[in-house]
């Protein structure tokens, strides 16, 4: 187990002609035994960060420490790290037993009997002991993923690095495997950094979530922290499903006015003192239908989810989503209005996107 310190990490690809800054100004500590999830849109630098921690990429600037020891110049195989990838990377010609035992055969002087005993222990933990003599192509996606996990676990590393390990699985299996992986990580207590582009997966799995955008770390926190107190508009928009409603409003004293006749009077006006315009955010579950509400809108679609409905509407050219009770199904074209409470309102600086409230 280990505490991982990523200090001022910068990774630039390419030569002087065309440079891509994949990761920049990145500071993060992954606590001993923590399950930390990196999440962000495609190309934001998740995989590159993970590969720098693994030692698979040279860093351009900054350093990486494992338990206070600088490992920046160590090669991948000198770091006590096990990686699990999306494509499993199993050896097709080897049986499950051979695949899982492979890292030990490579790196230790243990006898075949000792390695076999460890393989038995790990496969039992993963519920795949009946597959030991099969080859990867005879296995389902979920089984292959368990074998890949087994190969990581058997090394008993200081750190697990996982890059979208569940993304090749169907939705149901992915959800089962999420829980299994979390339980396994808790039992083993091994520090884990996990990459996904799926914010739902990140929220479900991570002790903490690190949200990246364009190579920069935006926020690190628990699911509740990043959901309830996003540091900026990007985080607010990325976390939450369906996404938060966002639009621009003008500030006049204690009143916000915006598209389609939006009007909202704030009790707490100190936050707005030096602003002419703000970005306003309200989450779909915080909207309720209320005649005379501050958001006059026209219904576009109602999506029935069974236990609730998603109501899509338009307010002066801004698309809105509201989560409402399943019994309420206004027809397309109906004029409605939404209300919300001030405590559920998010405000962002219209220039920088930084959170004001």
Q: Provide the minimum distance between the beta carbon of 140 and ligand ATP in the complex, in angstroms, as a whole number.
A: 24
Q: Is 258 in the site for ligand ATP (CB under 6 A)?
A: no
- Main-chain phi, psi angles of 255, to 5 degrees: -120, 135
Q: How far is the CB of 71 from ligand ATP (least distance, A)?
A: 20
Strand, coil or helix: 324: strand
- Binding to ligand ATP by residue 277, rule CB under 6 A? no
> How far, in Å, CA of 237 to CA of 227, rounded?
10
Choose the stretch contacting ligand ATP; rule: CB under 6 A; options: 35-43, 133-141, 293-301, 303-311.
35-43
Q: Does 48 bind ligand ATP (CB under 6 A)?
A: yes
CA-only gyration radius of the chain, Å: 24
Q: Which of 308, 266, 300, 262 is nearest to 284 (CA)?
A: 308
If the CB atoms of residues 22 and 148 are measured against ligand ATP, the closer one turns out to be: 22
Choice between 214 and 314, CB closer to ligand ATP = 214
Cα 142 to Cα 180: distance, rounded to the nearest angstrom: 11
Give the binding range for ligand ATP (CB under 6 A) out of 39-47, 71-79, 137-145, 173-181.
39-47
Q: Judge whether 149 and 184 are in contact, CB under 8 Å.
A: yes
Nearer to ligand ATP, 49 or 309 (CB): 49
As measured in angstroms, the least distance from the Cβ of 216 to ligand ATP is 11
Judged by CB under 6 A, the residue of 15, 42, 109, 172 near ligand ATP is 42
For 109: left if phi > 0, alpha if psi spans -120 to 50, otherwise beta; the answer is alpha
Q: How far is the CB of 59 from ligand ATP (least distance, A)?
A: 13
Is the Cβ of residue 154 or residue 235 nearer to ligand ATP in the bound state? 235
Separation between Cα atoms, residue 290 and residue 270, nearest integer Å: 27
H or E stretch at 115: helix 112-126
**Nearest residue to 274 (alpha-carbon basis) of 350, 346, 342, 353:** 350
Q: Is 197 in the site for ligand ATP (CB under 6 A)?
A: yes
Examine residue 22 and tell whether it contacts ligand ATP (CB under 6 A): yes
**Which spans of this chain sit near ligand ATP (rule: CB under 6 A)?**
13-14, 20, 22, 40, 42-48, 197
């Amino acid at each position: 187990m280990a505490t991982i310190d990523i200090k001022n990490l910068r990774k630039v690809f390419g030569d002087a002609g065309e440079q891509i800054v994949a990761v920049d100004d990145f500071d993060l500590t992954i606590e001993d035994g923590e399950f930390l999830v990196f999440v962000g849109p495609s190309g934001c630098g998740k995989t590159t960060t993970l590969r720098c921690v693994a030692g698979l990429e040279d860093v351009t600037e900054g350093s990486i420490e494992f338990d206070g020891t600088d490992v920046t110049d160590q090669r991948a195989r000198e770091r006590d790290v096990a990686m699990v990838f999306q494509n499993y990377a199993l050896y097709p010609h080897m049986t499950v037993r051979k695949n899982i035992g492979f890292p030990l055969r490579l790196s230790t002087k243990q006898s075949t009997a000792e390695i076999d005993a460890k393989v038995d222990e790990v496969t039992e933990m993963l519920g795949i002991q009946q597959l030991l003599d099969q080859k990867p192509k005879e296995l389902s996606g979920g089984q292959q993923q368990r074998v890949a996990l087994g190969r990581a676990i058997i090394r008993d590393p200081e750190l697990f690095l996982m890059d979208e390990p569940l993304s090749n699985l169907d939705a149901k299996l992915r959800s089962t495997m999420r829980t299994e992986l979390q339980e396994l990580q808790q039992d083993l207590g091994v520090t884990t950094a996990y990459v996904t582009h799926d914010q739902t997966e990140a929220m479900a799995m991570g002790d903490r979530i690190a949200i990246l955008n364009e190579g920069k770390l935006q926020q690190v926190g628990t699911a509740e922290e990043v959901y309830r107190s996003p540091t900026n508009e990007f985080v607010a928009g990325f976390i939450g499903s369906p996404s938060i409603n966002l639009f621009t409003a003008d500030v006049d004293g204690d009143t916000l006015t915006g598209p389609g006749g939006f009007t909202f009077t704030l009790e707490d006006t100190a936050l707005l003192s030096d602003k002419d315009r703000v970005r306003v955010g309200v989450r779909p579950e915080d909207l309720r239908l209320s005649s005379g509400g501050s958001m006059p809108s026209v219904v576009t679609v109602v999506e029935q989810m069974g236990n609730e409905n998603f109501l899509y509407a338009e307010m002066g050219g801004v698309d809105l989503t509201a989560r409402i009770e399943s019994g309420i199904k206004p027809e397309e074209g109906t004029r409605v209005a939404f209300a919300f409470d001030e405590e559920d309102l998010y405000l962002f600086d219209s220039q920088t996107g930084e959170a004001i409230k």
